[in-house]
Every structure is written in structure tokens, then in C-alpha cells.
């Protein structure tokens, strides 16, 4: 399905007013070859540790979007080229990271969508700490598991239901 977040906002002003469609703050940058992606959210809450990110991306993605609340840390990357490639191979539509990515040139060659705050070359720890399928707080909105995520060059939307 092709879409533009601006058009979705225009077509669903009533949902914006109700708060069932939310716009994340414009702090996310889109990486990857794809210009847009969408799907139901699988949520993770981690901090400077990406073992749970890897374990989740190794599962069948089924067109879903992994939403990672990394606490906004800019000290290390939670997703790199290897994890983005795993996501692509396993059928994930994309990844939204409240934190950093690395290997941006590699990610830009992939067809899986990746949105993050910025880049950082440092890798994270791999202790396995974190929580899955919990509400996560991203800049501008709380995201619940199963909500719908829409991402393009203009921004990131979170909706309680699938949008047409």
C-alpha cells in the first residue's frame, strides 16, 4: 500500500482531534532504500543493549514494525546493517528506533524501512535486558503493541486502527 503521512493526516483530521492518530515529534530520520513503510507495532523497551532487538528481528516479521524505545540514547547504536538485513530477510516492514543506528550506508541499500534519531558508530552492550510488548514512550506519543505505524520522509504516525 502506497501512502504519504501528510495525506493520512489530512484525511483523518477527526482521528488527530480524538488522539487516536498521533504524530511523533519530527526528530526521526528515514534510512534505507524504501521511501515509506507501515505495519502493526511490536514494542521493545531497552537501553544501550540490543540483544532483545536481535532476538525479536530473528522471528518472522509478517509485515510488522518493530518499535524500539532506546530511551533516546545517543551513546551507541541499537540497530546496524546486520540487524536491518535480518529484519529484511524475516519479513519485517521496518524498525523505528528512539535512539541511534549505525552502518547507515549498508542500511540505505536495504528494502526494509528504518527510522531513527541519528547515527552513532559505537555498538551497544548485549546483556539481554529489556521488555517486550509493553507501551513505549517515543517523542510525541505513547505506542502500544498492535497499534499501526506509518513512516515516510515527512514523519512517523501512530494510529489505534489501520488507516485507509
Residue 128 annotated as binding?
no
Supply φ then ψ for residue 85, to 5 degrees: -65, -40
Q: How far apart are CA 81 and CA 57, in angstroms?
A: 13
Q: How far apart are CA 132 and CA 52, in angstroms?
A: 8
Residue 81 annotated as binding?
yes
C-alpha cell at 16: 488527530
Burial class (CB in 10 A: 0-12, 13-18, 19+), 45: buried
Q: What is the DSSP string of 14-38?
A: HHHHHTSEEE--TT-EEESS-SEEE
Residue 155 annotated as binding?
no
Residue 83 annotated as binding?
yes
Residue 103 annotated as binding?
yes
Contact call for residues 144 and 43 (beta carbons, < 8 A):
yes
Instruction: Could you list the residues known to form a binding site for Mg(2+), using ranges.
Output: 103
Instruction: Could you list the residues known to form a binding site, using ranges.
Output: 80-83, 102-103
Instruction: Could you list the residues known to form a binding site for substrate, using ranges.
Output: 80-83, 102
Amino acid at each position: 500500500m502506497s501512502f504519504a503521512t501528510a495525506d493520512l493526516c489530512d484525511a483523518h483530521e477527526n482521528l488527530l482531534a480524538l488522539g487516536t492518530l498521533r504524530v511523533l515529534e519530527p526528530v526521526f530520520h528515514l534510512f534505507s532504500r524504501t521511501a515509506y513503510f507501515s505495519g502493526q507495532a511490536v514494542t521493545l523497551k531497552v537501553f544501550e543493549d540490543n540483544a532483545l532487538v536481535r532476538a525479536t528481528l530473528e522471528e518472522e516479521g509478517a509485515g510488522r514494525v518493530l518499535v524500539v524505545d532506546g530511551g533516546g540514547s545517543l551513546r551507541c547504536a541499537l540497530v546496524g546493517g546486520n540487524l536491518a538485513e535480518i529484519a529484511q530477510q524475516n519479513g519485517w516492514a521496518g524498525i523505528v528506533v528512539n535512539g541511534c543506528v549505525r552502518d547507515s550506508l549498508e542500511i540505505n541499500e536495504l528494502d526494509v524501512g528504518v527510522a531513527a534519531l541519528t547515527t552513532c558508530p559505537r555498538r551497544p552492550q548485549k546483556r539481554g535486558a529489556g521488555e517486550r510488548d509493553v507501551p513505549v514512550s517515543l517523542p510525541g506519543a505513547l505506542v502500544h503493541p498492535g497499534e499501526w505505524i506509518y513512516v515516510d520522509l515527512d514523519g512517523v504516525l501512530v494510529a489505534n486502527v489501520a488507516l485507509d
